[in-house]
Amino acid sequence: MTLVELTRELTAIPSHEDATAAGDFLEDWLRTETDASVTRDAAGNVLARRGDPDGRALALVGHHDVVPPDASQVAESGADDRETVDRDASEDGGGANGRGADEYVVTERDGRLYGRGTADMKGAVAAMALAFRDADVAAEEDRANGRGELVFASFVGEEIGGEGVRHAIDEGFAPDVAVVGEGSTNYSRSGVTDVAVAHKGRRASTITAHGEAAHASEPEAGTNAIYRASEAVDVVRELSAPEVTIAGESLSGSVVVTEIDGGSAWNIVPDRCTITVDERTVPGERAPLDRVEAIEGVEWAVDQDLPPMACEDDAFADTVLDAARQVHEQRGESEPTHVTKPHATDAGWLADRAGTECVIVGPAEPGEAHTADESVSIDVLERCRAVYRATVEAWVA
């Protein structure tokens, strides 16, 4: 099966509400195509291992869940217009690739594959799976050469806060280093797949202001929660966003009020008002949002905290970059470099909770993920496959 075929097959399987079928496909493929030890954990994560389990472990990490598709990205059974359905769909009246109703549409044109999940990130998962299969890795019984272990991991629940990777970590998943297949293409310049060594995190929180209700004709009889919330907004507005320098780039966080809700009627002084805050965090830093609690009647609670990531293993980061440069040079392409990413990924959980040193290498370009016309370059998929394999072979040599 070619990389394009594997990407199309995997992409066609719906996985925005339930990633089980996509996980089944990956598990079956790995059992059939590799000599690896393949497992499926209780969360639905697909894990495979090759090489020396007592050696240092390198993981190729992706996820097979996706965000909900646009209506145009779903092929419904019985539709009259079949032109958008994958070209190799069977003639049995099924959806894309003949699997049945409500499959994801996968199309190919102008050297790109279009469909929900092609960029984020089933294309990268397919490229990693093939690199995992094809890399020259020592068998478990041949440990004398000191080679390490190679791990393939495709998680569920990345799009809803990293549920899969957190479960795996709780169950002991902790590779020494990892290449995460999120997007790093065209970051430093067009035509390259860079190596991201850091990314921002995201902390979502709620500020709640409490007051005392009263009739609006006698406002002095109560305490206006909206006024207290307004004071909190002023505190947030004055906070300086954290900033760090990594890989020669300035990685700046941000903190912004995004929602406010308070009051129950036009003639009642409100006794409660809530404010939602979106904060983009950077490695080692957080905005001091707890300052709002100095205001009487105001409390602050964190609702979600997706950790940032920074690779502190320079040797590993350089090994991956050398592999990427080797591939680009062989293909006559411009030289990639170390970069940073603005988005949180599963690399943050691996770094924060498992102590895994991570870099990010993947085919997705800025602005491709989560769109109605999501797509991935076939040529870049092949480039990433080569980078993954070169990285593995440098690691286990």
DSSP state letter for 15: -
Express each pLDDT in 36-87 by its tens digit: 999 999 999 999 999 888 889 999 999 999 999 999 999 865 444 433 334 3
Task: Give the separation between CA 392 and CA 397, rounded to whole angstroms.
Answer: 8
- Strand partners of residue 63: 155
Whether 176 and 300 map to the same domain: the answer is no
Q: What is the pLDDT of residues 98-116, one digit of tens each?
A: 344 478 999 999 999 999 9
Q: What is the pLDDT at residue 247?
A: 82
Q: What is the pLDDT of residue 395?
A: 84
Residues 128 and 166 in one domain: yes
Q: Report how many domains make up the chain.
A: 2
315 and 180 co-located in one domain: yes
Helix boundaries (H) for 239-377:
314-330, 346-349
Residues 133 and 16 in one domain: yes
- 274 and 348 in a single domain? The answer is no
- Residue 216 sits in a domain of what CATH number? 3.30.70.360
**Residues 24, 123 share a domain:** yes
Assess if residue 92 is contained within a domain: no
Same domain (yes/no): 187, 219: no
13-17, 73-77, 104-108, 338-342, range with the lowest pLDDT? 73-77
Last residue of a domain, one of 280, 306, 332: 306
DSSP state of 353: I
186: pLDDT strictly greater than 90: yes
In this structure, is residue 95 part of a structural domain?
no
Q: Is residue 253 part of a domain?
A: yes
Last residue in a domain, options 247, 272, 306: 306
In angstroms, the Cα distances linking 296 to 214, 223, 299 are 18, 11, 9
pLDDT in tens, 122-133: 999 999 999 999
Residue 21: what residue type?
A: A
Asked if residue 365 is part of any domain, the answer here is yes
Angstrom distance (rounded) from CA 27 to CA 325: 32
Of 283, 306, 329, the residue that ends a domain is: 306
- Do 171 and 58 have their domain in common? yes
DSSP 146-203: ---EEEEEEES-GGGTSHHHHHHHHTT---SEEEE-S--BTSSSTT-B-EEEEE-EEE
Q: For residue 89, tell me if it sits in a domain.
A: no
Are 321 and 385 found together in one domain?
yes
Q: Are residues 272 and 353 in the same domain?
A: no
Note whether residue 244 is domain-resident.
yes
Q: What is the largest CA-CA distance in the chain?
A: 85
328 plus 385 within the same structural domain: yes
pLDDT at 249: 80
- 312 falls within a domain: yes
Domain enclosing residue 214, as ranges: 201-306
CATH number at residue 111: 3.40.630.10
Residue 85 counted as domain residue: no
The percent of residues in the chain predicted with pLDDT above 70, rounded, is: 90
**Res 321: pLDDT:** 98
Q: What is the pLDDT of residues 266-313, one digit of tens each?
A: 999 999 999 999 999 999 889 999 999 999 999 999 999 999 999 999
Mark whether 313 and 302 lie in a shared domain.
Answer: no
